[in-house]
Structure formats: C-alpha cells, structure tokens
Amino acid sequence: MAFPSGRHFLQIPGPTNVPDRVLRAIDRPTIDHRGPEFAKLGKEVLSGLQRIFRTKQPVIIYPASGTGAWEAALANTLSAGDRVLMFETGHFATLWLEMAQRLGLEADFVPGDWRHGVDPKVVEDKLRADSQHKVRAVCVVHNETSTGVTTRVAEVRAAIDRVGHPALLLVDTISSLASIDYRHDDWKVDVTVAGSQKGLMLPPGLSFNAISQKALAASRDAGLRRSYWDWGAMLRANESGFFPYTPATNLLYGLREALAMLEEEGLENVFRRHTRHGEATRRAVRAWGLEVNCADEREHSPSLTGIRIPAGHDADKLRSVILDRFDMSLGQGLGKLKGKIFRIGHLGAFNDLTLCGTLAGVEMGLALAGVPHRQGGVTAALEHLAATVDATQK
C-alpha cells in the first residue's frame, strides 16, 4: 500500500507513540535558557523526575540517548582497570559490556540464554568469592528491551547486602522507567540509567542518571576522563535550574507535560495498566500456540513481549508482511535473536483499544505470512481485558 490511510501503528518497544499533549507542549517558542522562565522549567522537571525515579537524591538530565546515560554512569564512578560484574541478559546488556571494555574497565561477564534475567544467587556467589572486593560495580538491565525479560532488582540488591559487598549497583531502566514499578531509593540503587523515548512518552533525545550519595562519593575519586558527562558541573548548575551547556529546551517542555500526565494517572495506575496489557498480550500469544521468549513467570516484562517464531519461519518476514498490509511496525529480533522473535511494545501512551488493534494486526499477519498458529489470540486478550477493566483504577 503506497499511501496507507489512518494512523501508523508504532508498536515497537521504543521510541513509543508521543501523545498529542506532549507534541503540543514541544511545539512552543524556544526561550532563553539562561533566563528566569527557564530556571522555573528546569526546577520543575528535575523535581518531577525525582518522583518518577522514587528518589530524594539528584537526577541529572543529558541531551543524549540512553547510551549517553550508560557512559555517564560508568565514567563518573569508575577508573580504568576497575572490575565490573555484568550479565548477558540480552542485546543491550551486551552493548553496555562493550562500552565498559572500550572505557578500559575489566568486565566479569556472566553468560546467559537471553530468556532469563539476572540470577540473584549468581550475584551473591560471585561477590562472596570476591573477598578482596575487586568488583567495583554490579551492572544490570532492569528490563531487557531485546528479550522482554525483567531482572528482579530488589532481589539483586538483597543478594549484595547479604554478602556485605561494597560494590556499586548500576541499573538500566531505559524500557522500564514509568512503565514498571521501580524504586531507586528503596532498592538502594547507586546509579539508575534511563531515556526519554519509552515510558516517558517523549521523542528520543533526553537521558537521565539518578544518583545515590554513595555514587557521588565514588565520583570524587573516579579516574575515567569525563567532560560532557561530568556530574559535578551538572549538579552545580542544576541548583539554580540551569545547565552547564545548552539544554534541549523544547524536549524539556515535553518532559514537563509527560510528567504531568503520569502524575494525573497516578504511578500505581500506570504500573497496573502496563501489567494488565502485558498479561493480555501473553494470553494472546499462548492462544495462538506460540511461545513467549521469557522463560521465567516471575520475569515477564509488563512493557513489551518477545514472541518466538516456529522453526523454519522468519520473524522479519512476518514483520514485513504486517507493515506492508496493515501499516504497523513491530520490534525485530536483535543480535542472536534476529529472525527468531518479534517484539510487541505495549508501553507509554497505550490503551485497551490500541492493544486490541495491535493483536488483531498480528493475528491477521500470522495467517498471511503462513506462520503455523491457532485462531483465538485476540479473543483471549479481549476476555482478559474485559474481566480486568476496573483493575487500572484502584
């Protein structure tokens, strides 16, 4: 279809659909980023982010993708040759490893099957064996966007505490912040990494570090070179609502509006909505006779679902058919999962009817692409949504 009618269905796990309210907020005249009006904006978004991260500690905003926030987390807390404990939970955990290695860090990388999150018992065993405390940081991805698998961060924190190990805990929440329950302070996370283009419902372009006092103390002795990513310069300027260099002013307008939308709905309601849509999607997958990529019931992602394609079939061909016939984009398999899975994003500005349309497009696409499946996936999802329609407002 050369010129499809209607609105494109963007159902990848990010960037997500940007609500009209946020688009209208961004579409305002740019103001002086050294003036009093901007200072007010800066203070509003910085305090609002603290509520989203559930922290009383500083949150830093960078004009960057989530990759920039990864680098900032490492560069501000570590020195060349430092040892970090990392886990192969998926494509993005692997990319974070590659960055750590390029920065001169020594990584103990625990292999994985891309179907499970970080095993807290392995964390405990690794740190217990590190009697000389050479491991300076434990780096985990809370919600692995490439697989649809979450890591139980609170249990990882408990494992670190049982050993009494002083390692910092660094957590990537790029596809979980503002979609899945996350508690920076309660879980004693030292640096939380996030981006704007998923649960925060913004275009790409902003990234974040939420920072504990322990991480701030580590930054004073960290030896990795940093300039643009330096926390110190940012925190000094942020005290008055400003930034040490030109900020992404119009994206900050959008961020203020997105924060208002999340608070109007209520974070607990936001989390319930995502959990409900994740369960409805998995019921559809099982009714089709397909397999969810996540292999542990405790680790299903509320923000996206990875779906394994039967042997002998190509997930990318299915995605191409669905895009061509229904103007809907689904997430591709990344890295070692390329062609083996497709991913449905159900996060951000997303509701029951959007999910129903998405699943209907997938079910029709499965038939058109000749992928073996059973009918009734959409019906299974509808039954769950109808039975839980009041569960989002409690």
Which run of H or of E encompasses 62?
strand 59-63
| Residue 108 pLDDT exceeds 70 | yes
CA distance 361 to 170: 38
Question: Which 8-state DSSP code applies to residue 337?
Answer: G
Task: Please write the tens of the pLDDT for every residue from 344-375.
Answer: 999 999 999 999 999 999 999 999 999 999 99
Question: Which 8-state DSSP code applies to residue 206?
Answer: E
Task: Please write the tens of the pLDDT for every residue from 156-215.
Answer: 999 999 999 999 999 999 999 999 999 999 999 999 999 999 999 999 999 999 999 999
pLDDT of residue 393: 58
Best CA proximity match to 191, nearest among 155, 142, 150: 142
Task: Please write the tens of the pLDDT for every residue from 4-49.
Answer: 889 899 999 999 999 999 999 999 999 999 999 999 999 999 999 9
Residue 129: which pLDDT band, with cuts at 50, 70 and 90? very high
Q: Phi first, then psi: what are they for 164, rounded to 5°?
A: 70, 30
| Residue 1 pLDDT exceeds 60 | no
pLDDT of residue 392: 58
| Residue 133 pLDDT exceeds 80 | yes
pLDDT of residue 290: 98
Which three-class secondary structure string do you get for 273-303? HHHHHHHHHHHHHHHHCCEECCCCHHHECCC
Average pLDDT over residues 371-389: 97
Residue 391: which pLDDT band, with cuts at 50, 70 and 90? low
Residue appearing with tokens 């590190």: 130
| Residue 71 pLDDT exceeds 90 | yes
Q: Phi first, then psi: what are they for 96, rounded to 5°?
A: -65, -40
Residue 75 buriedness (CB in 10 A; 0-12 / 13-18 / 19+): buried
Best CA proximity match to 213, nearest among 233, 185, 187, 182: 185
pLDDT of residue 4: 80
pLDDT of residue 51: 98
Best CA proximity match to 273, nearest among 195, 147, 181: 181
Residue 273: which pLDDT band, with cuts at 50, 70 and 90? very high
Q: Radius of gyration of the chain from Cα atoms?
A: 21
Question: C-alpha angle 290/293/298, rounded to 5°?
Answer: 115
Structure tokens at 95: 């990319």
Residue 2: which pLDDT band, with cuts at 50, 70 and 90? low
Task: Please write the tens of the pLDDT for every residue from 292-307.
Answer: 999 999 999 999 999 9
Residue 390: which pLDDT band, with cuts at 50, 70 and 90? confident
Question: What is the signed CA dihedral for 330, 336, 339, 340, rounded to 10 degrees?
Answer: -90
Residue positions counted in the chain: 394
pLDDT of residue 177: 98
Structure tokens at 251: 């994206």
Structure tokens at 259: 């924060």
**Are 213 and 57 a contacting pair, CB within 8 Å?**
yes
Helix axes 249-265, 36-53, angle to 10 degrees: 40
| Residue 394 pLDDT exceeds 80 | no
pLDDT of residue 5: 87
If you average pLDDT over every residue of the chain, what do you get? 97
- How many of the other CB atoms lie within 10 Å of CB of 43? 15
pLDDT of residue 372: 98
Which run of H or of E encompasses 66?
helix 66-77
- pTM here is 0.97
- How many of the other CB atoms lie within 10 Å of CB of 183? 15
Residue appearing with tokens 């951000």: 348
